[in-house]
Structure 1
Amino acid sequence: MKKKTKILLIYTGGTIGMVKDYKTGVLKSFDFKKLLTHIPELAQLACSIKSVSFRKPIDSSNMNITHWVRIASIIEKQYDRYDGFVVLHGSDTMSYSSSALSFMLEHLSKPVVFTGSQLPIGDLRTDAKENLITSIQIAALQQRTKPVITEVCLYFEYKLYRANRTTKINAEHFEAFASLNYPALAESGVHLKVNQENLLRRKGRKPLFVQKQMDNRVAILKLFPGINKEIVRSIFSATNLKAVILETYGAGNATTEDWFLKEVGQAIRNGIYIVNVTQCSGGSVIMGQYETSEALQKMQVINGKDITTEAAITKLMYLLGSGVSSKSFKSIFETSLRGEMT
């Protein structure tokens, strides 16, 4: 008899774990121990499902490093007991959290699938059931007794994406996420189709290591026409600041006004890492392609290539927390660690 795959659900909070009290109309968290009551279809899956919840479920807008460490620690503690993990999370910051976990879980060899929903699980038109059922099915996929997926992913509305390639693009549609610079890892239709060529291949056989030191002395500076020196200077001069994501125009372009380039140059001399990431949802930074990015390239601004802002900020936190030396920081950031950049 084939052994059942064991899946652990980790509920952090968010709409997916809510049911509506039809008498009052109020949303409330439901007991995940009674999951089969709400989703009897789960009984058809050939896997064993257990769940664990945050003692106090949180809205994803309140997510922070402490919560990321808690999720990672649960996975670390239960890693040998389960074949896959499904993290239920509010959609608003899901791309940030899942990107963070992709870096924190070093040498991961099992699936970690983040999912959520736009409507509560008890709602008549909910997307929660499909997202949850398929996420569990994906986490349980095995080939020759080994997991098919060995990375941190995000599943939403019929598509499985590499987590650190995603961004939330819509607050109202069921299709809330996109991965514009990398194709889907799997698609759910009449059949569940896994795009094997897009999966992250694990190198080596090292055991899981969880990096729990994340440094949040980082900032995001989005450029806009008319941005002034005082605003830029106030960000670069923030106490204990270690790194800044510079969200530039198009293929990595920025104003060439003297005051701006002087502020960037001074920040770099002060030991602040500056990463050039495009404001565009898709596409890549190509520094030096235009005159408006040539100066940044000469100043050794870090090239974010086609990384998302969500992955860039969490990668910064991870590298700073890992104690990477200033000498190698630029080259390590510009290297793809978990498939987050092309």
Structure 2
Amino acid sequence: MKRVLVLTTGGTILSFRTAEGLKPVKEDVTELLNEKLLKLSGEYEIDVETVFNKDSSNIVPEDWYIVKDSIQRSIDKYDGIVILHGTDTMSYSAAMLSFLFAEVNKAIILTGSQIPLSYKDSDGGKNLRDAVIAAGDSRLKGVFVVFHDKVINGTRAYKRSSINKDAYISCNYPYVGVIKDNKLFITQEYRDMKDKEHDAGLKILELKDKKIPKIFVLKMIPGIEASLIDYILKEGYQGVIIEGYGLGGMPVDNKELMAKIDLLASKRIPVIMATQCVYDGVNLDTYEVGMTAKKNGILSAYDMTTEAVYTKLMWGLSCTDSYEDLVKLLQTNLCGELAVRY
């Protein structure tokens, strides 16, 4: 019999109606979860542990380390781990846990729901059961999101809908698998992708401490003010992610803005260009605006999601003080987050 630990952190799946609106308020939800898992009885031994109770909009980076510690305390005793999580920031948590557990040899599965588990029309029961099935499957190693029958690499999950039960897509990467009739089917596209990934030579870095580096995400908009860079410098941000246009465009005619971004690079503050587009990633060698950005020391996120870049940079800054090592880390695929380099 497979042993699976379910860690609860709150989210819609464990929310209840209150005078202030839906929110996770009950500490002990074991009875509710066991009721939804009855169909799996006899095949899985399931334990439940509460980590914290939060709407995932209230998740902060420190919470990722609390979850990490809960996983580390228990993972040797179980075949896999399920984490119940709110959908709004699940992509961030899944990405960060992917880097924190880049060498794990079991499945760590995040799931949640669009409708609370206590509601009759909830998608939570199905997602929960599917997550347990995936967690107990020895073919999966790493961190994944399971949602609406699909298994998604933890660094590639992207929430596309605020209401639809089919809320997540796999961004720029094959779906890992699908779950039908309580069975996991791994896709051939994922197998082929895994065969092509070849960056395992980089030694996974160890955390020096659990300090949370300050990272600024700067979204390009028409007429953006260069003074935002002054704020970034004044507040001591240690990394900047630019969400550029398309393949990595930004207003290079704004000489004041470019000069100040060049100042960031001269101070060896990593500046990474991501894209506001969902699909296909960044290529700084196509347009003049991208090539100019590259000449100013801006690094490419390639086909990584903003969530993956943000958490990878945060993790990397917590592992090394070397700018060169950090750049190498950012440009190396560790757990499926980086598949295409232009």
Letter in 2 for 1:198: Y
211-220 or 302-311, which deviates more:
211-220
Q: Which residue of 2 aligns with 1:144?
A: none
What pairs up with 1:166-177 in 2 under 5 angstroms?
166-177=157-168
Contact in 2 for aligned 1:12/1:88 (Cα 8 Å): yes
Per-residue Cα deviation, 1:286-316 (whole angstroms, up to 9, x for no partner): 1121111111112231110010011111001
Q: Which residue of 1 aligns with 2:328?
A: 331
258-267 or 41-50, which deviates more:
41-50
Letter in 1 for 2:236: N
Contact in 2 for aligned 1:73/1:210 (Cα 8 Å): no
192-201 or 157-166, which deviates more:
192-201
Contact in 1 for aligned 2:241/2:310 (Cα 8 Å): yes
Out of 74, 84, 88, the position equivalent to 2:70 is: 74
Structure 2: state its 5+ residue gaps: none
What pairs up with 1:18-167 in 2 under 5 angstroms?
18-19=15-16, 28-29=25-26, 31-35=28-32, 38-44=35-41, 46-54=43-51, 56-141=52-137, 147-167=138-158
What pairs up with 1:209-220 in 2 under 5 angstroms?
213=210, 215-220=212-217
Deviation at residue 106 of structure 1 after TM alignment:
3.7
Contact in 2 for aligned 1:110/1:149 (Cα 8 Å): yes
In the superposition, the TM-score normalised over structure 2's length comes to 0.88
Per-residue Cα deviation, 1:72-126 (whole angstroms, up to 9, x for no partner): 1111111210110000001110000111110111411100000000111121110
Give yes or no for the alignment of 1:16 onto 2:13: yes
Give yes or no for the alignment of 1:231 onto 2:228: yes
Letter in 1 for 2:235: T
Deviation at residue 28 of structure 1 after TM alignment:
4.4
Letter in 1 for 2:172: N
Deviation at residue 41 of structure 1 after TM alignment:
3.1
Contact in 2 for aligned 1:156/1:176 (Cα 8 Å): yes
Out of 314, 317, 321, the position equivalent to 2:314 is: 317
Contact in 2 for aligned 1:88/1:116 (Cα 8 Å): yes
Deviation at residue 213 of structure 1 after TM alignment:
2.7
Letter in 1 for 2:186: V
Do the aligned partners of residues 295 and 207 (structure 1) sit closer, same or farther apart at CA in structure 2, a change above 3 Å counting? Answer: closer
Deviation at residue 189 of structure 1 after TM alignment:
3.3
Do the aligned partners of residues 25 and 76 (structure 1) sit closer, same or farther apart at CA in structure 2, a change above 3 Å counting? Answer: closer
Letter in 2 for 1:255: P
Letter in 2 for 1:321: S
Contact in 1 for aligned 2:271/2:299 (Cα 8 Å): yes
Q: Which residue of 2 aligns with 1:308?
A: 305
Letter in 2 for 1:69: Y
Q: Once the two structures are aligned, what percentage of the paired residues are identical? A: 29
210-219 or 97-106, which deviates more:
210-219
Q: Which residue of 1 aligns with 2:285?
A: 288
Give yes or no for the alignment of 1:198 onto 2:190: yes
* Cα RMSD for the two superposed structures: 2.6
Deviation at residue 156 of structure 1 after TM alignment:
0.9
Structure 1: state its 5+ residue gaps: 142-146
Do the aligned partners of residues 26 and 336 (structure 1) sit closer, same or farther apart at CA in structure 2, a change above 3 Å counting? Answer: closer
Deviation at residue 209 of structure 1 after TM alignment:
7.2
Q: Which residue of 2 aligns with 1:184?
A: 175
Letter in 2 for 1:100: M
